[in-house]
Structure 1
Amino acid sequence: MESTSLRKRNAQPAPGTGGSHKGVDVCIRSYFARETWLNSRGHATHWQDHQADSRRHGSMSGSSYLVLLFLSAVAVIIYRNPTVVTEPLAEFIGTEVRHAEPRYANITADIPKRDAVVAAFKHAWLAYEPERDAMGDDEYHPLSHKGSNLTEAGGIGYTVVDSIDTMLLMGLHDEYTRAREWVATKMTFERDAQFNTFETTIRVLGGLLSAYTLTEDPLFLEKARELGDRIMPAFETPTGLPLSHINLAQRKGYKTPDNNGLVSTAEVSTLQLEFRYLSYLTDNDAYWDAVEKVMQVIKSSTMSTGLASIFMNPEDGRFVMSAIRLGSRGDSYYEYLLKQYIQTNQTEPVYQHMYDFAIRGVQEHLVKKSQTARLTYTSELIPERDRSGKVTWRLVPKQDHLVCFFGGSLMLGAVTTGAAVHPVTTPPQVKQLTPSGLRDWKTGYDLIETCMRTHETATGLSPEIVHFRIPSDGLAGSSMPNDWYIKGARPGAPPPYDARYILRPETVESLFIAYRLTGDERYRKYGWQIFQAIERHCKIESGGYASILNVDQVPVEYEDKMETFLMSETLKYLYLLFEDDSVLPLSKYVFNTEAHPFPIINPTRHANF
Structure 2
Amino acid sequence: MSRGNRWARSLILLVILPHLCIEIYCSKPDPFAAKKKRMSEKVRQMFYHGYDNYMMHAFPHDELKPLTKTFTNSLSELGNLKLEHLSEKYNGSALTLIESLSSLAILGNHTEFEKGVLWLSENLTFDVDARVNLFECNIRVLGGLVSAHILATDSTNRLTKGTYKSQLLNLATELGERFLPAFNTPTGLPYAWINLKYGVMENETTETSTSGCGSLILEMGALSRLTGDPRFEFAALRALRKLWSMRSSLNLLGTILDVETGEWIEYSSGIGAGVDSFYEYVLKAHLLFGREEMWRMFQLAYIAVQKYFRYGTWYHDSDMRTGRATYWQLTSLQAFWPGLQVLVGDVTAANSSHREFYHVWQKFGLLPERYLLDHQMVHPTERYYPLRPELSESTFYLYQATKDPWYLEVGEAIVDSLNLHTRVEGGFASVRDVTTMELEDHQHSFFLSETCKYLFLLYDDSFLVNKNYVFTTEGHPLPILHSWHERLPEAYIPSNWTSIKGEEPKRASAMSMQICPASMHNCIHGNVQLESVCHIPDARDDHRCLSDEDCGVDSTSCRRRLCSMAGYCGQWRYH
Structure 1-normalised TM-score? 0.70
How many pairs are equivalent? Answer: 451
Alignment of 1:138-177 (within 5 A): 138-150=62-74, 151=76, 152-154=88-90, 155-177=92-114
Which of residues 351, 371, 384 in structure 1 aligns to 2:294?
A: 351
Q: After TM superposition, give the deviation of residue 256 of structure 1 in Å.
A: 4.8
Letter in 1 for 2:96: T
* 1:339 CA drift (Å): 0.7
Deviation at 1:240, TM superposition (A): 1.1
Following superposition, the deviation at residue 528 of structure 1 comes to 1.1
Deviation at 1:27, TM superposition (A): 8.8
Find out whether 1:334 has 2:267 as its counterpart: no
1:26-105 alignment runs, 5 A limit: 26=10
Equivalent position of 1:405 in the other structure: 336
Matched, 1:235 2:183: yes
The residue aligned with 1:487 is: 379
**Contact 1:234–1:246 under 8 Å retained in 2:** yes
- SS of equivalent residue, structure 1 residue 317: coil
Q: Quote the residue 2:327 is aligned against.
A: 396
Q: Tell me which residue corresponds to 1:31.
A: none
Match of 1:264 in 2: 209
Contact 1:247 1:254 in 2 (8 A): no
The 1-side partners of 2:330 and 2:41 are apart by 33
**Post-superposition shift, 1:255?**
6.8
Superposed CA offset, 1:474-532 (max 9, x none) = xxxxxxxxxx32133xxxxxxxx322211100000101111112222111210111011
Q: Alpha-carbon deviation of 1:297?
A: 0.9
Instruction: Classify the secondary structure of the residue corresponding to 2:318.
Output: strand
Q: Which moved more, 1:220-229 or 1:170-179?
A: 170-179
Query: Is the contact between residue 198 and residue 267 of structure 1 (CA under 8 Å) also seen in structure 2?
Result: yes
1:367 to 295, 310, 329: 310
Matched, 1:464 2:369: yes
Q: Distance in 2 between matches of 1:311 and 1:111?
A: 45
Structure 2 CA distance for aligned equivalents of residues 366 and 21 of structure 1: 23
Partner of 1:70: none
Letter matched to residue 65 of structure 2: H
8 Å CA contact retained: 1:197, 1:231: yes
Query: Structure 2 residue aligned with 1:447, among 345, 353, 370?
Result: 353
- 1:22 corresponds in structure 2 to 6
Any conservation in 1 of the 2:309–2:325 contact (CA below 8 Å)? no
SS at match of 1:548: strand
| Aligned: 1:192 with 2:129 | yes
Partners of 1:171 and 1:392 in 2: CA distance: 47
TM-score (norm 2): 0.74
- Between the aligned partners of 1:366 and 1:147, the Cα distance in structure 2 is 40
Deviation string, structure 1 residues 198-242 (Cα, Å, up to 9, x no partner): 111100000001111211121211111111111111111112111
**Structure 1 402/585 Cα, relative in aligned 2: closer, same or farther at 3 Å?**
farther
SS in 2 for 1:263: strand
Counterpart of 1:40? none
Q: What does the per-residue CA deviation read over 1:286-330, in whole Å, with 9 as the maximum and x for residues that have no partner?
A: 111111111221232222212210122212434444221211111
Answering whether residue 486 of structure 2 is matched by residue 604 of structure 1, we say yes
Give 1:276's match in structure 2, choosing from 203, 216, 221. 221
User: Counterpart of 1:47?
Assistant: none
Which one-letter code corresponds to 1:598 in the other structure?
Answer: L
Mapped partners of 1:227, 1:277: distance in 2: 13
Is this contact kept in 2: 1:408–1:445, CA < 8 A? no
Q: Report the more deviating stretch, 448-457 or 307-316.
A: 307-316
**What corresponds to 1:550 in structure 2?**
433
Across the aligned residues of Structure 1 and Structure 2, the Cα RMSD in angstroms comes to 2.6
Q: Answer yes or no: is the 8 Å Cα contact 2:147–2:478 preserved in 1.
A: yes
SS state of the match for residue 129, structure 1?
Answer: helix
The answer on whether the counterparts of 2:250 and 2:323 sit within 8 Å (CA) in structure 1 is no
Q: For 2:353 and 2:140, how far apart are their aligned partners in 1? A: 27
2:395 matches 1:507: no
Gaps in structure 1 of 5+ consecutive residues? 1-15, 29-100, 370-375, 385-390, 415-439, 474-483, 489-496
Partner of 1:533: 417
For the residue of structure 2 that corresponds to 1:137, the secondary structure is coil
Q: Where is the strand percentage greater, Structure 1 or Structure 2? A: 2
- Residue type of the alignment partner of 1:209: V
Inter-partner Cα distance in structure 1 for 2:188 and 2:371: 36
Alignment check: 8 A CA contact 1:307 1:361 kept: yes
Moved more, 162-171 or 202-211: 162-171
Q: Could you say what secondary structure the match of 1:590 adopts?
A: strand
Q: 1:503 to 1:323 in 2, by over 3 A?
A: same
Distance 1:381 1:222, change over 3 A: same
Residue matched to 2:38: 112
Pair 1:211-2:116 in alignment = no
- State the alpha-carbon separation in 1 of the partners of residues 26 and 342 from structure 2: 17
Deviations 1:71-96 (A, max 9, x none): xxxxxxxxxxxxxxxxxxxxxxxxxx
Match of 1:579 among 448, 451, 460: 460
**Per-residue CA distance 1:365-421 (angstroms, 9 max, x = gap):** 11113xxxxxx111012589xxxxxx894432111100000011012123xxxxxxx
Task: Tell me the distance in 1 between the aligned counterparts of 2:344 and 2:275.
Answer: 18
Aligned to 2:470: 590
Change (3 A) 1:587 1:355: farther
SS across alignment from 2:361? coil
Distance of 2:218 and 2:62 partners within structure 1: 23
- Percent identical among aligned pairs is 31
Deviation digits for residues 22-79 of structure 1 (CA, Å, limit 9, x no counterpart): 3522599xxxxxxxxxxxxxxxxxxxxxxxxxxxxxxxxxxxxxxxxxxxxxxxxxxx
In structure 1, distance between residues paired with 2:279 and 2:27: 28
The aligned runs of 1:420-431 (5 Å cut-off) are: none
Max radius of gyration: which structure? 1
Cα pair distance change 1:354/1:21, threshold 3 Å: closer
Contact 1:527 1:574 in 2 (8 A): yes
Which of 234, 251, 254 is equivalent to 1:306? 251
Amino acid at match of 1:121: F
* Equivalent pair of 1:194/1:247 in contact (CA under 8 Å): yes
